[in-house]
Structure 1
């Protein structure tokens, strides 16, 4: 499996993902008023994940740091990696 090159996520895509996820961390549920939110790859680029909008999710800083380059356990059963 080869690593996908990292690209800068355009502001319009970030805005769409934040709106789609209701400005809420998809792991712990914290909102933008409670913490700093970021965009994360569900399947990490290091594990062959793509820069596709369907592979992006909103995570808070803490959850993103804990996830590192692991696959989000909520989605792991859908992927054989």
Structure 2
């Protein structure tokens, strides 16, 4: 499995993902009023994930730091590991 190169996520894609995820962390449920939110790859680029919009999710800073380059267990069943 080769690492996918990191590209800058365009502002309009970030806005779409935040809106799609209702401005809530997909892991703990905190909103943008409670914490700083960021865009994260569900399947990490380091593990062969893609820069596709379907591989992006909203996470708060804390959950993103805890996840690091691991695979979110909620999505593990969708990937051959």
Query: Aligned-pair distance for 1:61?
Result: 0.1
SS of alignment partner, residue 39 of structure 2: strand
Instruction: Report the TM-score when normalising by structure 1.
Output: 0.99
Cα distance in structure 2, aligned partners of 1:50 and 1:22: 22
Query: Aligned-pair distance for 1:77?
Result: 1.1
Query: Aligned-pair distance for 1:76?
Result: 0.3
User: Deviation string for 1:9-42 (max 9, x for gaps)?
Assistant: 0000000000000000000000000000000000
Query: Aligned-pair distance for 1:3?
Result: 0.1
Instruction: Report the TM-score when normalising by structure 2.
Output: 0.99
Query: Aligned-pair distance for 1:80?
Result: 1.1
Query: Aligned-pair distance for 1:54?
Result: 0.1
| Structure 1 unaligned regions, length at least 5 | none
User: Deviation string for 1:37-74 (max 9, x for gaps)?
Assistant: 00000000000000000000000000000000000000
